[in-house]
Amino acid sequence: MAGKVISVNESNFEQEVLNSDVPVLVDFWAPWCGPCRLIAPIVEELAVELEGKAKVVKVNTDENPNLAMRYGIRAIPTIMVFKNGRVVDTKVGVQSKEVLKALLT
């Protein structure tokens, strides 16, 4: 399963997310965040299940504060879905796999 979720930072966000040909689920998280650790396995499963149809990336908000600020991240985990370079949906807090999958399909 490992290797399907892409770690994104300020230098490759535009390439991996904004310029993507497929929908992108972005998980804004931090290592110290308990709920972020709860949702991580769900995010990883989605990355495997939706390979080729959607992209799943993670942004560490501690290491990428400018991205967190740019997208108004006030609580984590925050899940944003991007299509054609634009945010089309946002969910804050732990979400079920079904809810997250529905955002991408």
> What is the model's pLDDT at position 14?
97
What are 84's two structure tokens?
């054609």
For domain 6-104, the CATH class is alpha beta
> What is the model's pLDDT at position 105?
78
Calculate Rg over the CA atoms of the chain: 12
> What is the model's pLDDT at position 81?
97
Q: Annotated active-site positions, please?
A: 33, 36
Average confidence (pLDDT) per 10 residues, the chain, 105 residues: 79 97 97 96 94 95 97 97 97 96 89
How far is 6 from 2, CA to CA, in rounded Å?
Answer: 10
Q: Sketch the domain layout of the chain as residue ranges.
A: 6-104
Alpha-carbon torsion, ordered 104, 16, 48, 25, to 10 deg: -30
Residue 7: strand pairing partners = 58
> What is the model's pLDDT at position 85?
96
CB neighbourhood size of 6 (10 A): 15
> What is the model's pLDDT at position 40?
95
Write phi, then psi, for 94 (nearest 5 degrees).
-70, 130
> What is the model's pLDDT at position 2?
44
How far is 92 from 8, CA to CA, in rounded Å?
Answer: 19
Half-sphere exposure of 63 (CA within 13 A, CB side): 14
